Structure 1
Amino acid sequence: MTTFTVPPVLEARAPAEARGVARDGVRLMVSRGTAVSHHRFTDLPGLLDPGDLLVVNNSATLPAAIETIDGVRVHVSTEQPDGTWLVEPRDFDAARPGLRLRVPSGSLTLLRPFTSRLWVAAADVPGGRVEYLTRHGRPIRYSYTDRDWPISTYQNAYATVPGSAEMPSAGRPLTGAVLSALAGRGVLVAPLTLHTGVASAEVDEPPYPEWFRVPSSTASLIGHVRRSGGRVIAVGTTVVRALETGTPEGWTDVVIGPDHPIRYVDGLLTGLHEPRASHLKMLTAVAGEEALRASYESALRERYLWHEFGDVHLLLR
């Protein structure tokens, strides 16, 4: 995709509610090939057909940022099968194997690099990752936001399974009112779970393994909808990744790009992604290069807002 620049004025620095807009009142850009139209998110039910299926990620967001006793901010990304944690020391150049970071009620010992930013760490803390972060953490916040927001700001209406380091934000505008309108329209909704790590996908790094589970009821409904001629629309790139892995549960290391055939998804509801994000490769796989270019040019021209508190994009194949 042609490179582009997001002006700072188009960064959503606060939730819609704090900007005087309802949570489900953000803007919705719809792409059908190279045809682009502009709506409010509350228009979504009327843009879908009875019998379509939205698949949502019900992973709930953890307060995954903690501060060491020495003042180093650490983002806790993922707990691996062996019990180690993937962590990202922020604004800290002294990371090295064996370094012990003192955190509230325990410590994190860096073992080895995992990526250019993430470290494998041994966690000596009371309880598991979810329990510990719930007690001692705060939500991950990046510099484009204007202040700290409570963890409830980062939860989707249907989030029931704690585990994500960052919000699966494509579903943020799916309020109870919109979900009710979808049901009244005859649009189906089904969950899966994928626990997201920190946003490595926004900085030139491929996404790393993340744990997921697709319930058998959701898999059966997907098959029924596709056989009946309905569309399966993923709410977020995490849902695409889980479904396209092709297994019901486990750790997915699938990286979806233009050379990866999309088998289970007919559309994608997602946010607007950074120019260097590997997510854009997934969007190209869903919609095609030409369609993606047309939509992003339109989003910039129409001054859509980026990031987790921003506007939303529906791509239909």
Structure 2
Amino acid sequence: MNAPVTNAMAADFVLPQELEAHEPPEERGLARDGVRLLVSRGGTGEIGHHRFADLPGLLSPGDLLVVNDSATLPAAVRLDRLAVHFSTEREDGTWLVELRRRGEPYRGGAPGEWLPLPGGATLRLLERETPRLWRARLDRDVPAYLRRYGVPIRYSYVDRDWPLSHYQTVFGARPGSAEMPSAGRPFTAELVTRLVTRGIGVVPITLHTGVASPEKDEPPYPERFEVSEATARQVAFTRASGGRVIAVGTTVVRALETAGLAAGEVRAARGWTSHIVTPSAGVKVVNGLITGLHEPRSSHLLMLSAITGGDLLSRSYAEALREGYLWHEFGDLHLIFG
């Protein structure tokens, strides 16, 4: 069952089409770190406006940024009438896939049905995992197949294909995400150097993101993650030293909070997480979050509200709409302090 998102969590706003980012910022004449950055401070209730390149000055020496090092796969394979979106690899070598037709989820298909794919490959549908996703098996190595025949997943607000490089972050080192961990996109090597020079740490986790299908108001399903021993130690050290742990993306929050114990101590962990961060459960590990702007009724708004509170989140989204911030993976960013 979907978790309810209340009005206080900015759930019922209307997103105008002109506030959807239709192309990468580089195609709008901006550097990656030239996108806008909305800043919401939970302690004071203040809301500020910056460029992403201002990030080093908004953090303090001793703070720690935790990033997702998952790289994006060209996870969409197009047929004559359908597209297959490869989402998540399961433990037994099967994959969760979404079938789409004319940009919408395709409700057809049957267990045992097989689909001929480009290059002579065959995809067999096994059973429905969710109302939208199938467990399926491809008779090829999926990552290798996608590298040859796949293209990046895109939705209707992006009106043309862009190279896979536009869907990668500077941190992407471990291929496995169906969709880009987009909160990391505005970082550049130069910006990371400025952060480290200022005494701000940067450490990775891995969480391979599945298909989002933003028109569906669904909670996340299980995704594969890993928090290394080195990252766990650095998180613990930062917290003990009075620094702030800032997650770069909702995927990072999900991984760290899964790895956190009841007292908020993070230990090395790997496997699958179904954890959903809600205001009632709260957050035990992270002190802040860098994220994109999320669609109305998105379950991610529960996580944001858990960090900063529903009232400030609602005011922040009203400010973003009023000031013309851009949504989606090529849009602007939001830095939230708890």
CA gap 1:202/1:51 in 2 versus in 1, 3 angstroms: farther
Partner of 2:330: 309
3-state secondary structure, aligned to 2:289: strand
Partner of 1:80: 90
CA distance in 2, matches of 1:83, 1:158: 26
3-state secondary structure, aligned to 1:222: helix
| Alignment map for 1:222-233 (pairs within 5 Å) | 222-233=235-246
Partner of 1:37: 48
Partner of 2:318: 297
Partner of 1:167: 180
Contact residue 200 and residue 206 of structure 1 kept, 8 A:
no
Instruction: Name whichever of 70-79 and 18-27 sits farther off.
Output: 70-79
In structure 1, give the amino acid aligned to 2:87. Answer: S
Report the alpha carbon displacement of residue 179 of structure 1 after superposing the two structures with TM. Answer: 0.6
Instruction: Name whichever of 98-107 and 283-292 sits farther off.
Output: 98-107
Contact residue 202 and residue 277 of structure 1 kept, 8 A:
no
Partner of 1:153: 166
Q: Deviations over 1:258-295 (max 9, x none)?
A: 11221110000000000021111111111111111111
Partner of 2:126: 111
In structure 1, give the amino acid aligned to 2:134. Answer: W
| Alignment map for 1:177-192 (pairs within 5 Å) | 177-192=190-205
3-state secondary structure, aligned to 1:162: strand
Asked if residue 49 in structure 1 is aligned to residue 70 in structure 2, the reply is no
Count of paired positions: 314
CA distance in 2, matches of 1:281, 1:312: 17
Q: Deviations over 1:160-197 (max 9, x none)?
A: 00000000000100111111110111110000100000
Partner of 1:264: 285
CA gap 1:200/1:13 in 2 versus in 1, 3 angstroms: closer
Q: Deviations over 1:90-141 (max 9, x none)?
A: 023431222211112311111111112111112222x2x2222112110001
CA distance in 1, matches of 2:279, 2:14: 22
CA gap 1:160/1:202 in 2 versus in 1, 3 angstroms: farther
CA distance in 2, matches of 1:250, 1:122: 21
Question: Any stretches of 5+ residues in structure 2 without a counterpart?
Answer: 1-5, 260-267
Question: Any stretches of 5+ residues in structure 1 without a counterpart?
Answer: none
Out of 273, 276, 285, which is 2:306 matched to? 285
Out of 64, 77, 84, which is 1:66 matched to? 77
Q: Deviations over 1:72-97 (max 9, x none)?
A: 21100011111111000002343122
In structure 2, give the amino acid aligned to 1:239. Answer: V
3-state secondary structure, aligned to 1:66: strand
Partner of 1:196: 209
CA gap 1:95/1:310 in 2 versus in 1, 3 angstroms: same
Q: Deviations over 1:191-227 (max 9, x none)?
A: 0100000005762111001001111100000000000
Instruction: Name whichever of 40-49 and 133-142 sits farther off.
Output: 133-142
| Alignment map for 1:215-226 (pairs within 5 Å) | 215-226=228-239
Report the alpha carbon displacement of residue 231 of structure 1 after superposing the two structures with TM. Answer: 0.2
Partner of 1:95: 109
CA distance in 1, matches of 2:70, 2:137: 24
Report the alpha carbon displacement of residue 146 of structure 1 after superposing the two structures with TM. Answer: 2.2
3-state secondary structure, aligned to 2:246: strand
Contact residue 202 and residue 278 of structure 1 kept, 8 A:
no
In structure 1, give the amino acid aligned to 2:326. Answer: L
Instruction: Name whichever of 155-164 and 83-92 sits farther off.
Output: 83-92
3-state secondary structure, aligned to 2:130: coil
- What is the alpha-carbon root mean square deviation over aligned residues? 1.2
Query: Structure 2 length as normaliser, TM-score?
Result: 0.91
